[in-house]
Chains A and B, each alone.
Chain A
């Protein structure tokens, strides 16, 4: 059943026509709205690669039917920066070089942004718990933990370009 719907996407109005209102939001974002931030990882809500914010809270976009976001507000990695000013998490991930393949990074950042919005100064255990549902296979965890804490202002600046 062809359905028209609209929602706020990264601060702008997005209009969409879909064949199936039960299509997961992820496919609308990637295939109809040409975003690259949210990533397909499992389609089962198990890995977190597709994470976006719906009404300010982290959700798995592979599980949310697109019809459920009509009239609501969706924020993706592409919309996380404030204009040209990167979100502190984006800056911290660059400074800590907190990625290998980076396929899970979208989920790490969006989940951590949700955490920092609720708890601006989490300790390491709280960060680990908040990210427990986000999988990484390359083993970038240690760097992600440092980056999130750095973004939260709990780490002093480190240098990334010193000679060995």
Chain B
């Protein structure tokens, strides 16, 4: 096994980079822990030495991202990870393209705090847009350096150098990249202005390259987090409190002792876990353990949730878009207006595979294998919780079940680290289904009031939105549940920048978007796919639909009248054509029941600064039972330069289907003590018979920046469905999910939207 450092020393050290053996990552699950060797070959022993053993990889240097091996392979170190989105393939395409290397010669290493640079968490559909752009720039810098090295070696002009299939050429000269690398000591600062390849010459970017791991997935050879095993490993199950904030009064494990392989119960404060040699024994022990929890009933009455959200203590307030005097304008009588209050239920992530992690301590340092979307943040959080320097924590990403935000992965990692420290052996923690539904952090309840008026010209004259959202501390992260329960140091919990997309792109002379940040919301708030942007776009685009009706205007035409962005206009025009849109006022073509059909549309420029999405949705509503069925989603999508069209389609399809589920069905339930949606019966999601058809129109702009894709497309789904329901029935749905009960109640009330209280 050649370490990178050994190789670098042997070849003149052209790249000075920190060098863990690549064999020491997640693929090695049976051998010794790959954290022992130190630069220079000294054996690690003791804390002081350990502290120096996990330096961060630089994000401002090429060697932080790329390494050419003597065998001619390119190792790509990505802080962004593939959460099942195919981004591993997309990122590889971007690097391979820039360096004219065959895709097969790339090895992408992801999300290992000792190997990969900190490129920020894998969220917000930013992997290609930010992570990929950094990798591309590193590759372009390397390409320029290779050209310069070759030009010097062959004494030719740089302009005479060409690249193809992993070789540099000029006239009769030809060399493989790694041959040039050994020529000289090169340390490469990342050049943010290194010339990028002309998209006209793209060969790999823009192609639907298949994801190689799918062949492993369909044959059962793909390694998931849940498959990681370590030598001498034991199995643990957590036993969570009976009430969210309940105090532990006592634990009795006498019944566990009859279970073969049961080892012990770990207790730290209110944190409880059972440990056994085998997994099934751990499950049995968790069931057999007698735990006495003090009564706790600190959650609000869910029936009064929106009163609690509206009237709860406000920690701070922000205004995000302030043009003219919206409040004064709306106070003037006489202008026709719409005024609605939109609420959006708590959601759980609902990964199909419950969270899992493995932790292993050695010499005061811990290595944690996790499906975390943010191993670098996790490392810091674990270090804080465990009261050790971050350098003594290594987090290694291993793919898990789908991750749509900060779910339970990090919490399982904290569980494993705590239990492993207590038992002194590698520990695997696997959450059960009820742990996942009950204890992953939640998409918070969100309430948004919008009032807007029309001027005499039929244009929007004033717009005022006010959101009620969980508070926003400086650090956007979620507390580790183990740290909370064990009484150890932890972060505050915050769902991130969920005010995004509350401000509107539409030209309105008087605009105000503001947020009351709430001091308290029930359950740990987190980010789940399209956090805040989905809720805010739901309120905004429902309002646009209502205004178009008020103005007697076609909803697409009404939006175009309020936009001066040519790319937005083009998208809406292409959407109308693609969806075979017939212009008209929403609700003007209502049919007799009992099964009525409707069409609605929605549009967003995500966060006002990136990806454009337009959506037309066809629904049917059964007036007898209130059942809504989304039959067809027609998506027009402009994220600029497309890296992998099929991968992009896969993401858009998934975002449509998942968000139809969230909009029609999903609502996390709780009583005064705990979450009561603890499995798929009590928290149903969309099933095959109800899955809509999804048609996608991709607008590719190869010469533009590659913007994020995935979660932006989910933003428009709830509003498009609500608008289609209005078209079909004349009722405006202002409360997600649109359950049959709510539909029937709205129909009975002849409701055009409930008034703001």
Contacts and interface: CB of A to CB of B under 8 A. Distances in A.
A105 B259 CA distance: 34
Contact of A164 (B353, B402, B642): B642
Nearest to B227: A36
Contacts of B651: 100
Given A103-B401, A135-B685, A142-B693, A36 B210 contact: no
B401 A137 contact: yes
B351 interface: yes
B221 interface: yes
Q: Is the interface of A mostly helix, strand, loop or mixed?
A: loop
Interface in B617-658: 642, 645-647, 650-651, 653-658
A132 interface: yes
Contacts of B698: 164
B208 A162 contact: yes
A99 B217 contact: yes
A86 interface: yes
Interface stretch (B275-283, B304-312, B483-491, B594-602): B275-283
Among A47, A81, A137, A162, find the residue whose CB has the most chain B CB atoms closer than 10 A.
Answer: A137
B560 interface: no
Contacts of B209: 161
Contacts of B685: 135, 137
Interface string A120-150: 0000010111011111111111110100000
B280 to A, nearest CB: 5
A68 interface: no
B645 A164 contact: yes
Contact of A137 (B223, B281, B350): B350
Contacts, number: 197
A136 B206 contact: no
A2 B390 CA distance: 45
A23 interface: yes
Among A31, A42, A94, find the residue whose CB has the most chain B CB atoms closer than 10 A.
Answer: A42
A125 to B, nearest CB: 8
A106 B679 CA distance: 20
A143 B284 contact: no
Nearest to B284: A20
B223 to A, nearest CB: 7
Contacts of A105: 217-218
B218 A94 contact: yes
B353 A49 contact: yes
Nearest to B229: A34
Contact of A31 (B85, B280, B400, B694): B280
B213 interface: yes
B208 A160 contact: yes
B433 interface: yes
Interface in B184-222: 206-211, 213-215, 217-222
Contacts of B657: 139, 141-142
A101 B401 contact: yes
A39 B226 contact: yes
Contacts of A30: 279
Contacts of A109: 218
A14 interface: no
Contacts of A128: 688-689, 691
A112 B83 CA distance: 25
Contact of B655 (A39, A98, A139, A162): A139
B679 A102 contact: no
B83 A44 contact: no
A44 B218 contact: no
B261 interface: yes
Interface string B217-250: 1111111101100000000000000000000000
B260 interface: yes
Nearest to B278: A31
Interface in B271-298: 278-281, 284
Given A36-B221, A43-B433, A138-B84, A132 B689 contact: yes
Nearest to B651: A100
B352 A100 contact: no
A101 B680 contact: no
Interface string B62-102: 00000000000000000000011110000000000000000
B286 to A, nearest CB: 12
Given A27-B279, A31-B278, A135 B680 contact: yes
A40 B217 contact: no
26 contacts: A39-B224, A40-B226, A40-B353, A44-B681, A78-B221, A86-B219, A89-B218, A100-B86, A100-B650, A103-B351, A128-B688, A129-B688, A135-B352, A135-B685, A137-B352, A137-B401, A138-B84, A139-B655, A139-B658, A141-B691, A142-B691, A145-B688, A164-B207, A164-B208, A164-B642, A164-B698
A-B interface, 3 closest residue pairs, ranked by CB to CB distance from nearest = A101-B84, A37-B220, A139-B654
Given A42-B354, A102-B222, A125-B689, 12 more contacts: A36-B222, A36-B227, A76-B220, A86-B218, A94-B214, A97-B646, A132-B687, A136-B352, A137-B352, A139-B655, A160-B210, A161-B207
